[in-house]
Structure 1
Amino acid sequence: MVLALSSGVVLAMLVAAATGGLPVALAADGRQHVKITAAELGAVATGVFPQFVQDADGDRQPVVVVGLGDVRVRGLCASGAVPTPVGTWVLRLDTPPDAEEIRAGDVQFAIESVDGLGALGQRLLLNREQQTPEGIPLDVAAPGNLPILAEGLQLDLAATVRWASVADLGLSGLDLRIGDDVAECF
């Protein structure tokens, strides 16, 4: 009885999180190699600053903490492949280009090292989200903030991420697939 009740509660929470009805916070750490595409990505860079983290041996390791606020993503595909003893498994997240935006109020990650970065895009605007009627870009950011807008974005990133957190996450229409027969985003 208790198992059935707790399973029902967990299922209800998963459904509420997947439909955007339950706020979610995520955290991750370790070496990550991810492939990301997005039809449109917008955010406000709120800071890039050095910090130290303590490793298992008690040593302090330098990292760069990147902060993003008001993150909006449309048409997302994110995938990562993990080699295992039984073959390579891929975790892939997709949202249709015409689905609601994925939103996050606060995203932070601490990067220890970047081993590889490939980036392609159709358009990248930094502090240029608004224009005059003549098409001249306007500075729109408050001091300490940098608005970012990317369209047709494709990132191939291999980095050692010491920690990452996502708060105030709102998503719907997310398709999550895991398996040894799942294709990466590109």
Structure 2
Amino acid sequence: MQDQYENPGRTRWRRFAALTVPAAAVATAVVFGVANGAVAASFAVSSQTFKVSATELRGEGFVQYGGIAQEVDGTRNPVAVTGIREAEIVNLCQSVKVPTPGAPVVLKITAGDEGRPATASDLVIDVVSLEGDVLFRDINIGQDASTLEGGPPGARGEPGAFGQQADAVTITNLRQVARAISAQTFNLRGLELKVNVGEAAKECF
């Protein structure tokens, strides 16, 4: 379901990195994956990032490796490609601030409470930054990205690039910035979509 750049040159792995590998090593590994040409989203991404938060994300089949999210004009944005084969998301919030003159405008989507969480299959996220408390089950760190398995079909990087995988992942108090999300299925139970203007235009965090 946020791995390194929120602003150019600013690393924000925080507690997520502390639970996996040292932040400097992660940043180096992601850059190495990018240098090897790993590609993230299979579609052209917008020039905007968006925010996603959740009380809890529970996933089966987790993989992660460095990649590039490319815009229509050819701009290449380094990301951490994060794949989860099956996911449940409690209290999902997704928001994007629309650049407009004058008062700010925010598009916000909420869905999924504890009794009826949002669900997704073959979920792939181009992550810019991520914060939260993370618990992995049976994790491999530093695995060759081309050998990753157990995640969404085709979710693997270039030979020799840094990767990591786990049988399962639980992230509580999730806050992430992303450039793209794709999924085979995305079931948003209790969906609410609002366009807020001015003082009411609050993002997920």
Bin for the TM-score computed over the shorter chain: 0.5 to 0.7
> Is the alpha carbon distance of 1:58 and 1:174 closer, same or farther for their aligned partners in structure 2, counting shifts above 3 Å?
closer
Q: Which residue of 1 aligns with 2:191?
A: 174
Q: Which residue of 2 aligns with 1:183?
A: 202
Shift of 1:99: 4.4
Q: How does 1:66-145 map to 2 (within 5 A)?
A: 66-95=82-111, 97-110=113-126, 114=128, 117=129, 119-121=131-133, 124-127=134-137, 145=166
Q: How many residues align?
A: 138
Q: Which residue of 1 aligns with 2:171?
A: 150
Shift of 1:67: 1.5
CA deviations over 1:81-127 (Å, ceiling 9, x no partner): 2221243211111236344111111111345xx4xx36244xx2111
**Greater share of residues in strand:** 1
The structure having more radius of gyration, on CA atoms, is: 1
Query: Helix, strand or coil: the match of 1:87?
Result: coil
When normalised by structure 2's length, the TM-score is 0.52
Q: Which has the higher contact order (CA 8 A, sep 6+)?
A: 1
- After TM superposition, the runs of 4+ consecutive aligned structure 1 residues lying more than 4 A away are 50-64
Please list every run of 5 or more consecutive structure 1 residues that lacks an aligned counterpart in the other structure. Answer: 1-26, 129-141
- Aligned-pair identity in percent equals 26
* Matches of 1:55 and 1:177, distance apart in 2: 26
* Matches of 2:69 and 2:113, distance apart in 1: 38
> Is the alpha carbon distance of 1:165 and 1:28 closer, same or farther for their aligned partners in structure 2, counting shifts above 3 Å?
farther
Query: Helix, strand or coil: the match of 1:97?
Result: coil
> Is the alpha carbon distance of 1:66 and 1:87 closer, same or farther for their aligned partners in structure 2, counting shifts above 3 Å?
same
* Matches of 2:98 and 2:75, distance apart in 1: 28
> Is the alpha carbon distance of 1:54 and 1:168 closer, same or farther for their aligned partners in structure 2, counting shifts above 3 Å?
closer
Query: Helix, strand or coil: the match of 1:84?
Result: coil
Shift of 1:62: 6.7
AA aligned to 1:150 is I
When normalised by structure 1's length, the TM-score is 0.56
> Retained in 2: the 8 A contact 1:75–1:96?
yes
* Matches of 1:126 and 1:170, distance apart in 2: 24
* Matches of 1:171 and 1:147, distance apart in 2: 21
